[in-house]
Amino acid sequence: MSKVIPLSSTTKGTISIQKIENPYGTDSKPVASIAISLKGDVDAPDWKVHIPMDNLQEVIEALQTLES
């Protein structure tokens, strides 16, 4: 699964979100990868974070509190 979202306040920027099954080799656990590209190049992001799937729900809940 992969999704690209336009990055607010930029003309070409993107936020790319995908699930990576084995990011660090065959024994590694899946992660959610969130990458930001200011120029819209999803293959060469300016920033990237990998969140272990085991932590994803807690991270989502923490992010949702920012909207309040």
Residue 64: phi, psi to the nearest 5?
-65, -30
Task: Give pTM, 2 decimals.
Answer: 0.88
Q: What confidence tens digit (pLDDT) does each residue in 8-64 have?
A: 999 999 999 999 999 999 999 999 999 999 999 999 999 999 999 999 999 999 999
pLDDT tens figures, 4-22: 999 999 999 999 999 999 9
Q: Where are the domains of the chain?
A: 2-65
Percent of the chain as helix, strand, coil, to the nearest 5: 20, 40, 40
Q: Does the structure show a pLDDT above 80 at 1?
A: no
d(CA 22, CA 15): 21
How deeply is 16 buried, as exposed, middle or buried, from its count of CB atoms within 10 A (0-12, 13-18, 19+)? Answer: buried
Structure tokens at 10: 């930029």
Distance CA 56, CA 60 (A): 6
pLDDT-based confidence at residue 68 (cuts at 50, 70, 90): confident
pLDDT at 34: 98
